[in-house]
Amino acid sequence: MRIRVLSSSLSSKKHVYFKHDAASFLCLCLDLFLTKVFYWRARLIRFPLYCRGSKHVDFGSNLTTGRYCRIDALSMNSSSEGDAGPLLKIIFGSSVQIGDRVHLASGYRLVIGSKTLIASNVFITDHDHGSTDYEALSIEPAERRLLCADVVIGESCWIGQNVCILKGVHLGNNSVVAAGAVVTRSFPPFSVIGGIPARLLKSIS
């Protein structure tokens, strides 16, 4: 009796796994089809992907994304100097890979270097909702003037889970950002950084 029950249980689990694998395979096929239709230069876009201002985004080549990513390329006149900035707000290098629920927001210029890998739940922005003086804080947050400074993530960088990278940051090639870090300033190539705010943990020479 035990053998029959165990055999039935295993058979049931195999059936569930098969259905799950089949559904995953069909989703992958659909994602590949939609990728080649809408983002033909990309390697694989896992949908849904939310993108505002796609005409201001250069998706590069061989881009891979996770699901539920959000890309905001703001075309408004939002820089602190009063100019609208470059036409392309977000630029991907080649073979960039980003995980699930990554949010990229640019009002001026945000560059992600080739072969950079970004984990899930990462937020990268090149703008703030105004300054922190009394006059600015007296205005509703949504009505404040955006202050922008370009963000450049170098090539072959590894950005860990739940990282925030804020305006004005230039991260050198081959750098590593530890999970949960909040990056508020720039670092040279081959830097290992972490913490809130992020600080240099190790420099590779």
Active centre residues (catalytic)? 129
Terminal CA-CA length for the chain: 65
| 168 contacts 148 by C-beta, under 8 angstroms | no
CA distance 35 to 53: 18
Q: What is the DSSP string of 50-101?
A: EEE-GGGEE--SS-EE-SSEEEEE--SS--TTS----S--EEE-TT-EE-TT
| 116 contacts 153 by C-beta, under 8 angstroms | yes
